[in-house]
A and B are shown apart, each in its own frame.
Chain A
């Protein structure tokens, strides 16, 4: 019934948009959860010794790679269609 109303191409584009949003959104949430612990530890170590600031930042952004994967998938979904 949905296909009858919006047509094949529009349906696929819609699904791809939902997929892209899920890829970015869920990977963002995952990275956030991972970063909460690392960030807390980085802030703790930096509070004691400022030399840990750079290393702390580096470790904190490592889970961001998951978001980059999500972003790449979402770009592929949106622009490769």
Chain B
């Protein structure tokens, strides 16, 4: 009665803090960098990933084994966070995890378009969003038109109904725009939801600045860039982006020095290095904000982001080792905090 919301936050924050303590440490990555692929899999079998690796080990080998096991563990972890939370925090986490619905929808559609075996598509799904595993499986048995029709009640229907008339990459962009626009409609009257919305806006900034730099470097037109931008950023508003997109690449880099993410652009040799810097800065920013607001959704989101980064790092490590990349090359691509 007095602090129902705070209690819900206290419970899930304490839980995710303990889960965070079980994430792999930088020294684990250092150790794994000096291992062969098989040794890495064996090492991971002594961690949280054991169950998932054992479950797919009879079916797959090599980096695909690692991919499926890592994504299965990610889905399990995210589902757990959603299931054990309650109250307002559960609603916010549910909204945030809707991005995995997009991931699944896009995978199913792309798979159907390329006539991929449904079993293979199924293994790429991460049922961490609002669609249950059963709903996703039923989608796999349907034709494209039926899949789109079954999503009629979702905010993605309008975009999905354009399949066939516009390229798939535009459909993907539009889907993510619809997702973020739904998130930004959440009322920011209370401090808890305001913090969540600011987090989302900052995430949009990071995504937009990466898109902006990539497209600018490849010489795309201002209109083409604006088309790919997600509206509703924290500092990078649509007008700001329009202004930035019209600048040359060198002028753009100079102008980006005034924004909250400018630190990521202080030192980089290639754009992929700058992108890793952005991810690192993003994680540091969330960590700072999460410690400033310990009884909010931020520590939970921090864990959610860190878990995804861990899975991405392990995939980079696995694929890098499998294809005999040098340790320096692999380490450059990883976001180790």
Contacts and interface: CB of A to CB of B under 8 A. Distances in A.
Interface of A: 33, 36-38, 40-45, 47-49, 52
A47 B10 CA distance: 13
Contact of A44 (B3, B13, B295): B13
A37 B17 CA distance: 15
7 contacts: A36-B7, A37-B295, A40-B8, A40-B11, A41-B10, A41-B11, A48-B19
B321 to A, nearest CB: 31
A37 B6 contact: yes
B305 interface: no
Chain B contact residues (Cβ within 8 angstroms of A): what range?
10 to 19
Contacts of A47: 15, 84
A37 B5 CA distance: 10
Contacts of B14: 40-45, 48
B297 interface: no
B18 A48 contact: yes
A65 to B, nearest CB: 19
A33 B11 CA distance: 15
A43 B11 CA distance: 7
Nearest to B2: A33
Nearest to A43: B11
A45 B18 contact: yes
B12 interface: yes
Given A36-B7, A43-B11, A48-B15, 19 more contacts: A36-B2, A36-B6, A37-B3, A37-B6, A37-B7, A38-B10, A40-B7, A40-B8, A41-B10, A41-B11, A41-B14, A43-B14, A44-B11, A44-B13, A44-B15, A47-B15, A48-B14, A48-B19, A52-B18
Closest 6 CB pairs of A and B: A44-B14, A48-B18, A41-B14, A44-B15, A40-B11, A44-B11
Contacts of B2: 33, 36
A38 B6 CA distance: 10
Contacts of B8: 40
B126 to A, nearest CB: 22
Contact of B12 (A33, A36, A38, A44): A44
A48 B13 CA distance: 11
A48 B17 CA distance: 9
A33 B7 CA distance: 10
**Most chain-A Cβ atoms within 10 A of its Cβ — which of B7, B12, B84?**
B7
A49 B8 CA distance: 18
Given A36-B3, A37-B3, A44 B10 contact: yes
Given A33-B2, A33-B3, A40 B10 contact: yes
Contacts of B295: 37
Interface in B1-48: 2-3, 6-8, 10-15, 17-19
Given A40-B10, A41-B10, A49 B18 contact: yes
A47 B13 CA distance: 12
A41 B299 CA distance: 13
Contacts of B13: 41, 44
A4 to B, nearest CB: 42
B47 to A, nearest CB: 15
A44 B144 CA distance: 43
Nearest to A37: B10
Interface string B147-189: 0000000000000000000000000000000000000000000
Contacts of A43: 11, 14
Contacts of A44: 10-15, 18
B206 to A, nearest CB: 29
A68 B295 CA distance: 28
